[in-house]
Amino acid sequence: MVELNEAFETVNMVAQENLDVRTITMGISLLDCIDPDLDTVCKKVYDKITESAKDLVRVGDEIGSEYGVPVINKRISVTPIAMIGAAACKTPQDYVRIAKALDDAAKKVGVNFIGGYSALVQKGMTTGDKLLIESIPEALASTERVCSSISLGSTRTGINMDAVRLMGDIIKATAEATKGNDSLGCAKLVVFCNPPDDNPFMAGAFHGVTEADRIINVGVSGPGVVKHELEKIRGENFETLCETIKKTAFKVTRVGQLFAKEASRRLGIPFGIVDLSLAPTPAVGDSIADIIHEMGMEYAGAPGTTAALAILNDQVKKGGVMASSYVGGLSGAFIPVTEDRAMAEAADIGALTLEKLEAMTCVCSVGLDMIAIPGDTPNTTIAGIIADEMAIGMVNQKTTAVRLIPVIGKGVGDFAQFGGLLGEAKIMPVNKFGCADFVNRGGRIPAPIHSFKN
């Protein structure tokens, strides 16, 4: 029987500590939509998505209401579109038409983002992959809800430096194409090393080719809940700290497990995974930087931050793994800057730099995320930052990502605003020294050695 204190603990987590289910994401395979005729591809894509996900938003809201925990986002991920359009698309504009079909389908079923405008080019690019990448600036400027992700490297294959260099140009072109909205297009574009096939979080969600026809993946959240629990154990030793994070992560993840099973049952679609990520929002108190502060750092970015983040990431996984029957996706702590109010503040006062964030990505889930940089940052420098991040992922056998926003027309200290969950922040400085001769070499970085671990 439920006890009084347990009931109120749960109620307070929602009412005061921002506990929510961040996303229910339906993965949909579009492999059966491939056709040599572009009109047919667009129609099949639109029809399959709108039929598969017609009840997604309603069911998500119903479950949220019954259990009293809000489901913030309902989203869709699809098979990487580079594959789906390869037979039909002869120009980048052809791919843009598929992007518009995805956008129309997303609007029809009422989801706020659809991910999978993607190409997996970690070893090489097909003609279709290249056309899709070239179409990204126009695709993201002319659609509202489509998200794009490109896989540029993996531990098994190495890093495709030709694609890294190209993405330096594409990120800048996307920024230029959406400069009217503080280069918002770049917030919907992420590059990966070792991307998971079942990630429910945007902008990097896509439905891997080894996945089932349709699947339900759930991303939980809860930085505010963890912070609140840590407030109660100030000054206690690391054992107590770790145990507290682990127990809290267990409870938060149980909510995700329940919602995933229930959504799966009501929609008649198999349950895929629960993603254990601690995902912050711009809401006060819903912040990873606040947790780091609570652990003992004056501000996120101070010496000790990387160790604190390593503890947080590991304990979240240890607690969460036991709470769910299938764990997947990114599963860890996200460290976006604009989406996390306290992280943005730490960057603003100079406690947190791009270089420290890079170090933090070695121990956290994902990578350099939602960082506004000056609009005049050279394309080659963006490619260099990507190459560094891909190398960290490749060597450490982990997922890393880069989502940088070069805000056209703005410089260091100017304010960039993206709205809603994407948040806002001042523009961070980037190392001024060049790397053009390195990233312009062309070719691939070979896969790392899998022995002699030091």
Partner 1 sequence: MSKTIVTLVGKDRVGIIATVCNFFAENNINILDLKQTTSQGFINMMMIVDTDAYKGSTAELNKGLEAVGEKVGCIIKAQHEEIFNMMHRI
| Sites of contact with partner 1 (CB under 8 A) | 1-4, 6-11, 15, 65-69, 251, 254-255, 257-258
User: Please, are residues 352 and 318 in contact by the beta-carbon 8 Å criterion?
Assistant: no
| Closer of 22 and 293 to partner 1 (Cβ) | 22
Q: Rounded to the nearest whole angstrom, what is the least distance from the CB of residue 250 to partner 1 in the complex?
A: 8
Neighbours of 411 (CB within 10 A): 13
- The number of C-alpha atoms within 13 Å of 158 and in the hemisphere containing its C-beta is 13
| Closer of 66 and 239 to partner 1 (Cβ) | 66
Angstrom distance (rounded) from CA 172 to CA 404: 10
Q: Rounded to the nearest whole angstrom, what is the least distance from the CB of residue 323 to partner 1 in the complex?
A: 8
Tokens for 450, please give them: 């899998």
Q: Rounded to the nearest whole angstrom, what is the least distance from the CB of residue 271 to partner 1 in the complex?
A: 14
Tokens for 245, please give them: 């994070």
Question: Cα 430 to chain center, whole Å?
Answer: 22
| Closer of 23 and 174 to partner 1 (Cβ) | 23
Q: Rounded to the nearest whole angstrom, what is the least distance from the CB of residue 76 to partner 1 in the complex?
A: 24
* Residue 43, Cβ density class (10 Å: 0-12 exposed, 13-18 middle, ≥19 buried): middle
Tokens for 71, please give them: 């489901």
Q: Rounded to the nearest whole angstrom, what is the least distance from the CB of residue 81 to partner 1 in the complex?
A: 37
Q: At 121, is the secondary structure helix, strand, or coil?
A: coil
Q: Rounded to the nearest whole angstrom, what is the least distance from the CB of residue 225 to partner 1 in the complex?
A: 11
Q: Rounded to the nearest whole angstrom, what is the least distance from the CB of residue 10 to partner 1 in the complex?
A: 6
Q: Phi-psi bin for 123: left (phi > 0), alpha (psi -120 to 50), beta? A: alpha
Nearest 5°: CA angle at 399, between 395 and 402? Answer: 100
Question: Cα 83 to chain center, whole Å?
Answer: 21
